[in-house]
Chains A and B, each alone.
Chain A
Amino acid sequence: MSAFVSISLVYLAIYTLSAWSLNLQYGYAGIINFGWIVFQSIGAYVAATTALGSPTSGGFQTYIFGARLGFPLPLIMGTLAGAALALLLGLIILTRRIRPDFQAIIMLVVAIIAAEVVSTNTALFNGANGLSNVPQPFNGVMHLSYNNYQWFFVAFSFALCIIVYFGLEWICRSSWGRALRAMREDDILASHVGINVQALRIVVFVIGGAIAGFSGALLVEFLGTWSPDAWSFVESFVVFVSVYVGGRANNRGAIIGAFLVPVVFGTMPSFLPEFGYPGLSANLEWLVIAALWLTTFYLRPAGILPEGRFIARRTRAREQAPVMPPIAKQGSVA
């Protein structure tokens, strides 16, 4: 029971980071990153290979740039990898004017190609078998029991989430965040008021990619394994659904979405006692997630917590200050 709660909570933290990453890219900036999962997965792979140490010849797994770095470095390397991939793809894809659904298709295609190349080429990240035995942070030092370590990881990932949350809120409420929303609503108009739309789009894509890489790195540190099965392109759809269910451009909504979609309907059913033929519960899980998406999009198109009204502090102060004394109504006695 304790393991069930702690594992679900770690998943909640990781999927919340995922939803925030996509929320920044799609909810705030309107970039349709349908290949989102690639950024998470490169973060996971890089964190894994930089924690595993150099591959032993004749060992059971092969991978590139193996190193055994101390605790925070694999996480940082994973984050940087996500950012670097986002910069590369952003420069190629986002600098062109493409119809939004075609942009989604290109991103999807990138995800499919990446999965195919990684599963085929075993020299890269051990092919379809994936990487395993990734050391968990502090586990060698602290000598905790399995359960206690799980709870330690819960606290650790929640602390990281809180830091990311405040960072994101600060970004989204700043004038830079307003520029993002302006670009989302009308990129031509935004460029006319002096916003460098191209640069903004790439920078926000890179920040989102970094958070995605970070979430992947955290996930692989927790799970200890990562393989192409874990990041089929459908996973991006799940993150999109959690952003939509929670509410686009609302970071608190993204937490609710991440809790409802991937955690309650995606992860928890695997703890249920086995029923029917093997694989039935996984099938039902997908049916429920798809139905959840279609119904929320019908009933609450803006999500559970819709985007709030953002007003710059200076404007708000001006609105609240009594500029003129209220005009006395005609006929009233002074």
Chain B
Amino acid sequence: MNLYIEAIGFGVIAASSIALGAMGFTLQFGLTNVLNVGYGATMSFGAIVAYAAHLTGMSIWLALICGGIATSGLTLLSAKTLLRVYAKRGAALFEMAMVTFGIALIVEYAIASITENNTFSLTIAIEHTHALGPIRFTDVQLALVILAVVVFILLDGFLRLTKVGTALRATAVDPDLARASGIATGRIVTIAWLLSGFLCGLAGGVFTIDILTVNAFTGDSLLSLVIVAALMGTAGSVRGAALAALLLGIATQLVSAAGASGYASAVAYGVLAVVLLARPKSVQGGLVADRVQITV
């Protein structure tokens, strides 16, 4: 029994990086309708930048912020240059996803070429461990969970209480109506890309601190869980993404604890496939004609 309670503890820790990623993903996806398959590659980018910043002697937390800012810049750059060009040419939803896939391959293999396919490992001194019943947290793990919770509260507050947040939600629901009522939607979309990129870099960094290794493909192992969480929690809903991430983190760790670690993520994907097939409301649309507007 204790094994399973411990697994729940590990699940909460794993959920911190999934939740950060999923919140960024859902924010951007809900607003622009571009299914950003390149999110995994940019997470790797954030993780690598954070690692490099940590190498220069920066504290790991400051390095994490650095990774977030750098990823934010990269995301905005690729959105405003490449994605915008293809969106203006009238690329369909699926073609936009293919474009982000292409960008992802370029980012990932550029990193792999520069780092010569190396995997770097990270060492962080652990000072204290805390026990909560049978669950043991190290200082660092506790900090990661707190970071994710704080970011969630800030983001949710930002979306619900501030003017910019309200404008963001309005643009996500109906960009034309939002523009007609005086919202500078272009600026709102820029803000969404920046925020999403920042969270993406943060998620990559947090994931690296959690598993203590980083290479060009680190983000890929997290990407599928992030997409699963974002889509399960309804595209655009930060609360839904956070809750789904928590459930997924715990579920995958429970499956591992039950002795089927090879199937841990297969379970998560299975859940997603079922959710997508069983909840046609949130994913409905023309099979062929795209009736969803892309705003980049």
Interface residues of A, dominant DSSP = helix
A274 CB-CB contact with B under 8 Å: no
The verdict on A186 contacting B273 (CB below 8 Å), with A101-B35, A283-B112, A294-B102 known, is no
Q: Which of A100, A109, A286 contacts B272 (CB 8 A)?
A: A109
A-B Cβ contacts below 8 A, count:
146
> Bound complex: CA of A187 vs CA of B285, how far in Å?
12
CB-based nearest A residue for B260: A120
Partner of B273, one of A106, A244, A297: A106
Closest to A294 in B: B102
Judge whether A55 is part of the interface by a CB distance below 8 angstroms.
no
User: With A101-B97, A112-B224 known to touch, is A287 a contact of B106 (CB < 8 Å)?
Assistant: yes
Whether A290 lies near B102 (C-beta < 8 A) is yes
B contact residues around A97 at 8 Å (CB)? 280, 284-287
Which residues between 106 and 150 of chain A lie within 8 Å of chain B, taking CB atoms? Answer: 106, 109-110, 112-113, 116-117, 119-121
Interchain CA distance A110-B285 in the complex, whole Å? 21
Q: Are A297 and B106 in contact (CB under 8 A)?
A: no
Known: A109-B224, A116-B262. A287 touches B109 (CB 8 A): yes
Counting CB contacts under 8 A, is A103 at the interface? Answer: yes
Residues in A with CB closer than 8 Å to B105 are 234, 237, 286-287, 289-290
Across the interface, which residues of A come within 8 angstroms of B103, CB to CB?
A: 290, 294
> Cα distance A293–B82 when bound, in Å?
12
Given contacts A93-B277, A237-B101, contact A102 B117 (CB under 8 A): no
Report B-chain residues with C-beta under 8 Å of the C-beta of A159: none
Contacts of A188 in B (CB 8 A): 286, 289
A interface residues, Cβ below 8 angstroms from B: 30, 32, 92-93, 96-106, 109-110, 112-113, 116-117, 119-121, 183-188, 234, 237, 240, 244, 277-280, 283-284, 286-287, 289-291, 293-294, 297-298, 301
Nearest CB in chain B to that of A31: its residue? B287
Chain A residue numbers with a CB within 8 Å of B117 are 277-279, 283
* Separation of A120 and B260 alpha carbons in the complex (Å): 9
Contacts A100-B92, A287-B106 known; A116 to B283 CB distance under 8 Å? no
In the assembled complex, how far is the CB of residue B99 from the closest CB belonging to chain A, in whole angstroms?
A: 7
> What mask results when residues 74 to 108 of chain B are scored 1 for a CB within 8 Å of chain A, else 0?
00000000100110010111111111011101101
Residues of B within 8 A of A119 (CB): 262
Report the minimal beta-carbon distance from B22 to chain A, rounded to whole angstroms.
14
Smallest CB-CB A-B distances: 7 pairs? A120-B262, A99-B285, A290-B105, A101-B93, A101-B35, A286-B109, A290-B102
Q: How far is the CA of A93 from the CA of B273 in the complex (A)?
A: 9
CB distance from A231 to the nearest CB of B (A): 16
* Cβ of A125 to closest chain B Cβ, rounded Å: 14
15 CB-based A-B contacts, threshold 8 Å: A93-B277, A100-B93, A104-B97, A106-B276, A113-B269, A116-B263, A116-B265, A116-B269, A186-B288, A277-B116, A283-B109, A294-B82, A297-B91, A297-B95, A297-B98
Question: Which chain B residue has the least Cβ–Cβ distance from A201?
Answer: B287
For B91, B96, B98, the residue with the greatest tally of chain A CB atoms inside 10 Å of its CB is: B98
Interface string of B52-90 (1 = CB under 8 A from A): 000000000000000000000000000000100110010
A33 and B106 alpha carbons, distance in the complex (Å): 23
B99's partner among A116, A278, A294 (CB-CB below 8 A) is A294
Contact of B283 among A30, A99, A277 (CB under 8 A): A99
